[in-house]
A and B are shown apart, each in its own frame.
Chain A
Amino acid sequence: MIPNTIERFVDRRGRTIGLGLMWVVIALLWIPIGIVTLMSFAADRALAFPPDELTLHWYREFLQNDAAIDAVFTSLQVSVIATLITVVLATILSYAIAKYEFPGKGMIQLVVTLPIIVPLVVVGVAMVLFFGVINVGTGFWSVVIAHVVRTIPFAALIIIPTMLRFDETLEEAAKDLGADELDVFVNVRLPNILPGIVAGGLLAFTISFNEFVYTYFVRDTRTETLPIYLWNQIRFEASPEVNVISVVFLLVAIGMILLALAITNVQRITMR
């Protein structure tokens, strides 16, 4: 039994304490992000807090650093290509799930979510082994394939529900009015499911742009994405430029998520 005095105290103060703790935890989540942003303006080379002097020096350094800018472009290339492939495949998959019955349909949910659950290291090494066996080797395209594997589950889990909510009678109506299969897909179904597809694509892009572990294993030394560049910097150089790259990532992530939110809703992204 819990003493009555404690129960009464919690009854009266529980709400205040709970809300207080909530804000403390949320603050703890954001403090590191705030610190990185602040430190990106620090003049000093060492990571001493508080910074003595604020400067834009490391931002200029970053913009003039060819290796870093190359990494940004490699990342953008990989992410754009991987996102396009992912969105097309995920749309086809969800179309098949919504329209047709086929063997193994019940397993799809599991197969789609497994890559999300299995630790990244495990899949990363399994892929590099497999690429060796089938002679794909490592390089730009192995990275793109890895990114597609990584992003398909996320895109599919957003696009499938959109597809299932689509009112099939609309399609019937269009067909009755003489439209053929392709016409119906492009003019009736696509406009209806487009928000889901765009949201799925944005999410896929964000994940791909941030993806590190798969890339780390399946890349060759010439394919350096921005997360790989960041990793190498942290491990071997630790220049304050790293803070600047971090801010770039923060802005991209926050921008993409807000964009996705504008199109779909919070529940879709956080609850599914």
Chain B
Amino acid sequence: MLLLFFILPLLYMVWLSFHDGMPPASLTLENYLNVVTTDLYLRVVWRTTVLTVQTTALVVVLGYTLAYSMARFSKRTTLLLLLVILPFWTNYIVRMYALINIFSRDGLLDWMQLVTGLAQEPSGIMYTHTAVLLGLTYVWLPLATLPFYASLTNMDDNLIEAAKDLGAGPIETFFTVTLPMTKNGVIGGIILVAIPTFGAFVTPTLLGGTDQLMIGMVIENQFTEAFNWPFGSALSVIVSAFVVLMLLIAVKFGAGDVVTRRSDTQ
């Protein structure tokens, strides 16, 4: 079933991306050349890359902090895990709409800025780069926290004690012992965030609009409005290439396990 409705469609898509129209049409590399020679598409790929890097960085910092405190300082971890994962299991579009409530003109963010005197005029941050970045971070934070947390709890706490006994302060211990020991969890988390962010289309559509085009939006547009399916396929292949690249990185750093065993996106 998966083979039939998952693998075959992907293979067909790759095949189609080398055609200049719906088959039977001639084979061509034109779709790929189109991406690398058109200014608009290059800018879209660049923006997508920047947003992916920024989102991943934010998620790693926030998620690792969260996971660290859960693993080291807390006792009621079951409840905390639930508090982290429940927002993740609520509908993706609902979470986006929640952020629209907050980001739009006269929304919560504006209200807070007015109350604290940070801003005089309500303006909202909808359709900005910041809105998309915060949206993507909000969506993927819980997901990345889980591998961070798992690697932190699997780590041998005695190592930390040993480092402290040898005179290392908590910060030094963190950077020389804890962080290297949980490297696999960190890489796993990075991959779980970077891949879906690179292919995002719902978040940038709802929070960014046409000012913040990402690859996923262009792909969607090729299939629902422009009807240039071979070109859309070529873009999808580019996204898939990114996925393969990230997975290879994971395997190279020995974190492949984290990706195949961890199992929930979006």
Contact = CB atoms under 8 A, between A and B. Distances in A.
B182 interface: no
Interface stretch (B24-32, B34-42, B77-85): B77-85
Interface string B65-78: 11011101110001
Given A119-B195, A149-B1, A266-B78, A154 B240 contact: no
Interface in B107-122: 107-108, 110-111
A50 to B, nearest CB: 7
Interface string A12-29: 001100110110011011
Contacts of B87: 29-30, 33
B81 A249 contact: no
Contacts of B170: 7, 10-11, 14
Interface in B5-24: 5-10, 12-13, 16
B83 A32 contact: no
B16 to A, nearest CB: 6
B220 A121 contact: yes
A149 B202 contact: no
B150 interface: yes
Interface string B243-266: 100010000000000011111111
A212 B78 contact: no
B219 interface: yes
A49 B108 contact: yes
Interface residues of B, number: 89
A163 interface: no
Interface stretch (A174-182, A187-195, A250-258): A250-258
A4 B142 CA distance: 34
B259 A113 contact: yes
B1, B94, B223, most chain A CB atoms within 10 A: B94
Interface residues of A, number: 86
A243 to B, nearest CB: 7
A116 B265 contact: yes
B186 interface: no
Interface stretch (A60-68, A94-102, A127-135, A165-173): A127-135
Contact of B247 (A29, A117, A149): A117
A189 to B, nearest CB: 22
B198 interface: yes
B104 interface: yes
Contact of A7 (B5, B102, B171): B171
Contacts of A127: 5, 9
A186 interface: no
A246 B220 CA distance: 24
Contacts of B12: 126, 129-130, 133
A159 interface: no
8 contacts: A14-B170, A30-B83, A35-B101, A47-B107, A120-B201, A122-B10, A129-B12, A216-B220
Interface of A: 2, 4, 6-8, 10-11, 14-15, 18-19, 21-22, 25-26, 28-33, 35-36, 39, 46-50, 89, 109-123, 125-130, 133, 145-146, 148-149, 152-154, 157, 206, 210, 212-213, 216-217, 227, 230-231, 234-235, 242-243, 245-246, 249-250, 253-254, 257, 261, 266, 269-272
Given A22-B66, A39-B101, 17 more contacts: A10-B171, A35-B102, A47-B107, A111-B2, A111-B6, A112-B2, A115-B2, A125-B220, A126-B236, A133-B12, A153-B263, A213-B266, A230-B93, A246-B97, A253-B91, A271-B146, A272-B263
